[in-house]
Chain A
Amino acid sequence: MTPPPDAGATTLSGSHLGRPPLVLVVPGAVAAALLVVPLVTLVLDTPWGDFLDQLGSAPVLAALRITALTSAVTVLACLVLGTPLAWLLARVDFAGRSVLRAAVAVPLVLPPVVAGVALVTALGRNGVVGSLLRETTGLTVPFTTTAVVIAHTFVAMPFYVLSVEGALRTAGERYDVVAATLGATRWHAFRRVTLPLAMPGVVAGAVLAWARSLGEFGATITFAGNFPGTTQTMPSLIYTQLQADPAVARTLSMILLLVSVGVLAGLRNRWLTTS
């Protein structure tokens, strides 16, 4: 009955530990069903005959363009601004660090509409920062594509920062110390050691931020508005179509779903497996 040492090694753990208990299997199956069933029904309910027509229509193309643009810029903003913030939180001991870390996580639990309102109070034409900007430069933020990016970055950044900060903490400060004894400045160590070691967290955080940006609706429509070609993203278009023709809205949802799944699959092949 002794299994061959090599062949048995992989099957042993599963078969000899006994059946998975129902108390885990049943809720697990319910969870899976809850996640999968609505997606399947959405696929089944999509009027596929209209799919290509919808995909080629001007409003959809415009919304797809805005969504692609804003989500890409959002990820870029997270990389450029969020990475340093994550590093500060993970590596520099400063007064109020724990408070700042908590504050960074707040947008995670904030209803998106509230996030939009908060952005208006800061960056609206009469907002604290926005009014200053308007007085000094004559520029206003709301109703611009920039506003969409700001709204997306506001809601997506916490995902990115927490992911990268976690990776930095896991990698530990030890390699930073080694780099310093080898004569590296903190910037050199960050570039050549800290960041490469945290790369899995950076990639995961960027994907999370991108996904969050792709689905963003509440903060965007509250803060940036909704106009085709400048501020109307796919989720905004879907919402407005839901008021007029739910079937069209379902088709648009399917387009967004396919685009996002396609990009994720592409990323997985090119990036995620190699890291």
Chain B
Amino acid sequence: MAEIDRDKLLDIYTRTMKVNRTDEKFRQLLMQGKVAVMYYCVRGQELVSAAAMAALDDDDYVVCTYRGQGEQTAKGIPMEKWWGECLGKETGTCKGKGGTMHITDPDTGIMVTTGVVGSGLPIANGLAMASQNNGDGKVTLVSFGDGAANIGGFHEAMNMAQLYKLPVVFLCQNNRYGEHTAYADHTDSDNIASRAAGYGMKGVTVDGNNVHEVYPAVQEAVDRARAGEGPTLVEAMCYRMMGHFFGSDFSYMPPEHLEEMQKEDPLPKLRAVMLEHQFTEEELDKIVADIDAQIDAAVEHALAADLPSTDEIYKDVLEETA
């Protein structure tokens, strides 16, 4: 088990709780009917996103999916801009014209959020190829789920990335469900990471609920990519503890599977690790309280903000030429 220093643990804990508290707040607002947008819950996957973002430099690139809240907030999109975009307001990262499924914030390296399963991988290759050509030293991490591993673009991107030794990290968050379909009903192989061997690429499967497994694995993949040693497929086993999206029927998830998920919940496990490293309950509670206060302020700001004006409709979409 790799040791992680205290500062990095604190960083990962803070990012993890930011993701979790954002998720809780979002579900609360949706339940109240206060906001009415599509939201894909990340409960159960907070640690994978947080640990992965903690392994990247601030200016590294990320491509994520509609279930991308974890990457987006953990990478550091300012909360006011993030909530502004989710609520479709002009204060958002895309001036309210992207919404929850298309959040882009180049300032923090969140380059694309895709709404199509598996479509992010070839895009990540493009970003990584640009970095390779420019020699800017940046690494691109693309996050996707187990369902995406059966899309053609996955295989094309894996082959190309390995062929050209692109500085990219393929992070598969294997949450056991591809949308509404259980893993065993869409894939017969034991895991996703073993597919990397078919492309001559390094692939690893780790426990995404264990900080001592997921963080070192992503960090090593990032280091390899930055050193010019090419891509890695990191498969983090985790659980999506809710349905595909807020409000969707998830009766297809068996009760015993939901119980198994509760036992593997990454949040109490991470909290226990923090306490083992002599962080106090008070310190950890204060971190969460501070995050809650920041989120509440950001939500109020977003609720009070204006919708984009109609003058904005054609801006950022078409380039006007003479």
Asked if A pairs with B, the answer is no
Chain A residues in the interface with B (C-beta under 8 A)? none
